[in-house]
Structure 1
């Protein structure tokens, strides 16, 4: 039996899942905003405790690799690395974009999509203004267009939409719906990042021994972190 702990902190959703052999056992998450520093380690400890597990009984820790929130990713990867170092277990990196695809694939009928055959899947994570982090996937959840940062307008994805139906989802797609109006474009509302949809992807990686280098792994930020300019001079108060 292989227990894997999954940490998702790439967006405003703070989510931790426990899985056994790729099947979800337990889940704790909050979508109340950027509370990762306060909640992520607490969720991890509580999940293990209420399932009568100790950290050393884990076979691996899976973490959302990004792209997404700079601070959230740092917190998730720091916790994952700490657990892996302390317990001498491997680290598994999972794309939050691909895990959102996993949700759509597994729940498409409940989401109002009768058929996925020949559809492309385009998850989107909100960046800023009309910019999103995105990638393109095809069944059965294979990456066919690399992760990128895109500014969405009326011309976006027109080449692909001319010949394929495309499902757009994620918090980035919600803000782009006024621009993605082609008849072949469908926006699926309500899809958020969640650790529960990392489970099967992490299990596949575990079985294939696709582990991240614990010493050198860093989150996939996609863009450099840009610090905001303080409104007040902290030395003068002006």
Structure 2
């Protein structure tokens, strides 16, 4: 059984009432991948904004493998020390990673964040030398439209991420740079300029699905008309 672990920040954990892109990808794989699979990880909850904590299980549709390693306000800096234990404990085969916006916004600059990417990859491989990793670049949010230095840091980090992927990719443990979600528009695919709404969830899931299908033969491209 192939064991996927979604790793991310607030765009991945989601909040009450949402499906999340994790759900959208699971639904897609159910119809396009003809081998057993599941989602794994140490967490299952959504982030409850009123409680200010990841305490909710109020998914729009809770009937899917909800396990993940995602946290509201968490980034590469936070996940790099955790990933080895999570991969080891939950026997993850494939990491689906969407991180970086929160790092650049609050914690680390582009170069420091890229260093944490490399530490993350090393930690994952120490736990499973054959783990596969699909890494999504940072999607610029509403802040990047008005804050030029921040937008420049996002662009620089995405360049450094591409370089890290090229440096770290190997046949035994491939690292895949996922193309940015096609057609993604923060004004129509998010509910607040950052966090995906229903169409945004589909587009992020589509990006991961298409990349894995093309590079690794896992599943198929996202079904036309799903968006």
TM over 0.5: no
More helix by share: 2
| TM-score, normalised relative to structure 1 | 0.36
More strand by share: 1
| TM-score, normalised relative to structure 2 | 0.38
Structure label with greater radius of gyration: 1
